[in-house]
């Protein structure tokens, strides 16, 4: 299977998220899995790119729930393979105020176990891009929730995700999917 041209890494629940460091809009860098407050969770939302109308709608919904996620101790970040100019345009079009990182490479996408698509045409975009994913890193720095899609249509319901993070944290619900 590793010789398959679409091979990617499968991340394991309970393990750390690969600590990829990406450029961040507004300057500086963002490292996946590093939280501003070590008692918080970090929710990493991978979006396809500026070309995706479903991503715009999803990120707008995420922005509307930002205060709720902050209340339950979850730091939000969004990442894509878009270059800086397209990532900035996405922020401007969606009103996103959470940290946004960009220039995710194909090799980095593979290290995260993402599905990667080629553009259907030059009008769509000019490079391979990651399909949507969500990684929730808990306060111990371990992957607690993993949701990876191969299409733009299947994504975590954000209202349910907010309720889930709050409930999991309040009830010390264990990491699932760790049977060896």
Given pLDDT bands bounded at 50, 70 and 90, which one contains residue 125?
A: confident
- Tally Cβ neighbours within 10 Å of residue 89: 12
Given pLDDT bands bounded at 50, 70 and 90, which one contains residue 7?
A: low
121 pLDDT above the threshold of 90: no
Q: What is the pLDDT averaged over residues 136-161?
A: 96
Report the pLDDT value the prediction gives residue 35, as an integer from 0 to 100. 94
CATH number at residue 155: 3.40.30.10
Transcribe 121-173 into DSSP letters: STTT-SS-EEPPEEEEE-TTS-EEEEEE-SSSS----HHHHHHHHHHHHHHTP
174 pLDDT above the threshold of 80: yes
Number of folded domains that form the chain:
1
1 pLDDT above the threshold of 60: no
Report the pLDDT value the prediction gives residue 124, as an integer from 0 to 100. 81
Q: Please check whether residue 41 is in contact with residue 56, taking contact to mean a CB–CB distance below 8 angstroms.
A: no
Residues with Cβ within 8 Å of 179's Cβ and at least 6 positions away in sequence, in order, are: none
Q: In this structure, is residue 16 part of a structural domain?
A: no
Q: In this structure, is residue 28 part of a structural domain?
A: no
* The model's pTM: 0.95
Instruction: Compute the distance between CA of residue 4 and CA of residue 34 in angstroms, rounded to an integer.
Output: 32
Residue recorded with tokens 């407050």: 37
Q: In this structure, is residue 8 part of a structural domain?
A: no
Q: In this structure, is residue 86 part of a structural domain?
A: yes
Q: In this structure, is residue 142 part of a structural domain?
A: yes
Instruction: Compute the distance between CA of residue 151 and CA of residue 129 in angstroms, rounded to an integer.
Output: 11
76 pLDDT above the threshold of 90: yes
Range of the domain at 71: 39-171
Q: In this structure, is residue 47 part of a structural domain?
A: yes
The proportion of the chain whose per-residue pLDDT surpasses 90, expressed as a percent, equals 89
Q: What is the pLDDT averaged over residues 131-151?
A: 97
- Residue-wise pLDDT for 37-50, tens only, equals 999 999 999 999 99
Residues with Cβ within 8 Å of 173's Cβ and at least 6 positions away in sequence, in order, are: 167
Task: With CA atoms as reference, report the closest residue to 135 among 5, 4, 7, 20.
Answer: 20
């Amino acid at each position: 299977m590793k010789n398959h041209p679409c091979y990617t890494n499968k991340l394991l629940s309970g393990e750390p998220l690969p600590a990829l460091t990406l450029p961040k809009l507004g300057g500086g860098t963002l490292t996946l899995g590093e939280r501003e407050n070590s008692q918080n969770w970090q929710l990493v939302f991978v979006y396809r790119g500026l070309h995706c109308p479903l991503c715009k709608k999803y990120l707008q919904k995420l922005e509307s729930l930002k205060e709720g996620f902050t209340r339950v101790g979850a730091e939000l970040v969004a990442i894509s393979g878009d270059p800086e100019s397209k990532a900035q345009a996405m922020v401007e079009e969606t009103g996103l105020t959470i940290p946004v990182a960009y220039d995710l490479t194909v090799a980095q996408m593979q290290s995260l176990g993402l599905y990667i698509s080629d553009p259907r045409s030059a009008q769509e975009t000019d490079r391979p891009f990651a399909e949507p994913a969500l990684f929730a890193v808990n306060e111990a720095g371990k992957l607690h929730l993993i949701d990876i899609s191969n299409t733009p249509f299947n994504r975590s319901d954000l209202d349910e995700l907010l309720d889930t993070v709050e409930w999991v944290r309040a009830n010390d619900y264990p990491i699932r999917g760790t049977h060896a």
